[in-house]
Amino acid sequence: MNKQLGNIYNKLYILFFGLLAFSIPLYDRFAAVAIILVMFTWLIEGKFIQKFQRIKENQYRRYILSFSIIYFIYLVGIFYSNNQYQALSNVQTKLSLLVFPLLFSTIDEGILKNQKVKIFFYFILGCFVTTIVLLVHSFYKYLESSSLDEFFYGNLSWYHHASYIAMFLVFAIGVLFYKFYNPVQKSNKKHLVINILLIIYFSFFVLLLSSKAGIISLLIIFLSHIVYLIFRKKYVRSISMLIIYALTLWGSSTYLTVTSSRLSKAQQAISSNDLDKNSTESTTERLLIWQSAVSVIKENILAGVGTGDTNDALLKTYKTNQYSGALESRLNAHNQYLQTFIAIGIIGFLVLMGMLFIPLYTAFKKRDILYLLLLLLICFNLLFESMFERQAGVVFYAFFNGLFFFYMFTEGKLD
């Protein structure tokens, strides 16, 4: 009876993990429901003494649990915040930083054994469904406006920020590339063709999204793949990939006018010596915001301004510096490293760096290519977005980071 009940719990875990992976790119609220279902399963399963005994007996489970330290620092930051409403809202958004370390540090190793491919499948399926939903919506809007702009950037990614969708798609592309060379995940010719078509489709969609961070991430993925092919002495294939990618860049810069315009404006902003304080162009705004963020950090370097006061402190600085574009849009730091430093000071910043770069070093040392790709992708995108201020970003990081680290010790990659 106990064994049958255990099998039921195991199936529920896998079902809800799959639902979560599918929901992350699709819709925040679906992901929230999936998280609730996973944690409800964890609670009704019981066996809490056994679960926490696993943490006590296994140092790698303690490493996973340590990813939650930053959440407790944010909790402390509530007590010296003036904006208590925003502080409580902030820690609610970041709850995944506590939930997933707790979950992955306590669940039985056998639950997720040989389930990685299935979870990736649901994530890629979620990415595909998301793109179809976005395209259908844009096509409907196009019938009303007759403007091709409906298929680009914010008009295309109407309920998610374009940078987040681009990040999800780039990671999906990385997973699909990885499947080509992983002997455990070798596919038949039909699956191979589907994978190639998905890579092309997702890549084109990233260009439509016109996210500069997404396009750079896509470039890095393709160039890394080409370098890998050269390292494997597959010269013909590497040259073919290089030509295809060069033609893709040329085509996008020639025919995808919205994308090329955004890239051109970004280049002009970076090279400009005199930034327009009233600008609403995203790159210019970011450069102005980052200057403001640094000035706030200098005045609150030790403990920060508090979990709930980050945006208020930035808005005050925008007003002082007369950055009307950033002020009217009430923009956050658009950089998670700066956002965290402002909120909870140097200790919080160092903890953030540790929870990113220690696993990054471990993944590199153990040659866990996909985990390495995930962390590099996240570290890069944190430079341009305050990812942990939105559920889409924090759930993506917390879930996949915990999952990969869990697999590193259950698959024997840690010794």
Q: What per-residue confidence (pLDDT) applies to 69?
A: 96
Q: What per-residue confidence (pLDDT) applies to 229?
A: 73
Neighbours of 114 (CB within 10 A): 9
Q: How far is CA 297 from CA 106, 149, 286, 403, in A?
A: 37, 38, 16, 33
Quote the CA–CA distance of 346 and 229 in Å, as a whole number: 41
Non-local (6+) Cβ contacts of 96 within 8 A are 35, 391, 394, 395, 397, 398, 399
Question: Which single residue is written with the structure tokens 């595909």?
Answer: 128
Q: What per-residue confidence (pLDDT) applies to 415?
A: 44
Phi, psi (deg, nearest 5) at residue 202: -65, -35
Question: Which single residue is written with the structure tokens 């991430």?
Answer: 217
- Chain centroid, CA 268 distance in Å: 27
pTM for the full predicted model: 0.91
- Percent of residues in the chain assigned helix, strand, coil, to nearest 5: 80, 0, 20
Instruction: List the chain residues with pLDDT less than 50.
Output: 1, 414-415
Q: What per-residue confidence (pLDDT) applies to 195?
A: 85
What are the residue ranges spanned by the domains of the chain?
2-269+333-410
Contact 61, 55 (CB under 8 A): yes
Residue 43 amino acid letter: L
Angle between helix 28-45 and 96-106 (nearest 10): 40
Quote the CA–CA distance of 9 and 110 in Å, as a whole number: 12
Q: How far is CA 109 from CA 14, 118, 377, in A?
A: 13, 16, 27
The conformation of residue 9, written as its DSSP 8-state character, comes to H
Render pLDDT for 308-350 as a digit per residue (tens, 0 to 9): 999 999 999 999 888 888 888 888 999 999 999 999 999 999 9
- Degrees, nearest 5: CA angle 363-368-369: 110
Quote the CA–CA distance of 332 and 336 in Å, as a whole number: 9
The conformation of residue 384, written as its DSSP 8-state character, comes to T
- Degrees, nearest 5: CA angle 371-374-379: 125
